[in-house]
Structure 1
Amino acid sequence: MKEDLKVLYFVNDYKHHVVKNFYYFGVGLQNVCDCRVWNNPANIHDVIEKLNFTPDFIFFHDYKGSPLITELNSINTPI
């Protein structure tokens, strides 16, 4: 059962890599909450508009394992 928590997960596309733990983490998140995964560099406002989704929380895989997202300082969503 999905909870009401909305999570935006930024991670590079690992679904075709040998080690897929980051991909499976995103799949697992989608099983327990309303989670959207974004894989491309972009402006945060464009991402939210394209997904038609306002997250409660933003999660980055890590510095090197996530796409470059700009304008993060202009939103009030916890990261």
Structure 2
Amino acid sequence: MKTTIEQELTMAIENSSKKFKDEVLLNQFEKASEEFEKLVSLGIVKKRGNNLISITDTHLHKSNLNKPNVKDKYPNDNFYLSNI
């Protein structure tokens, strides 16, 4: 009887699981991973990834580069000071 790909894959996973069962470094990594997931669920940390602003949210942020301070430029002008 021929074995299917799924059966071979299942056997390979089981053999690997047995091989690395008592691996100290792997157990430490899994423990750290579980602790990190717990911190993520509590909102203390967040996973790394694409944290850049999306195109649809760019209108929510205002950036002023090399813009002079209006209060310094027009200190006695009430029009500019009232619109800040």
Report the TM range for the smaller structure's normalisation.
under 0.3
Greater percentage in helix = 2
Larger strand share, 1 or 2: 1
More RCO (CA 8 Å, sep 6+) = 1
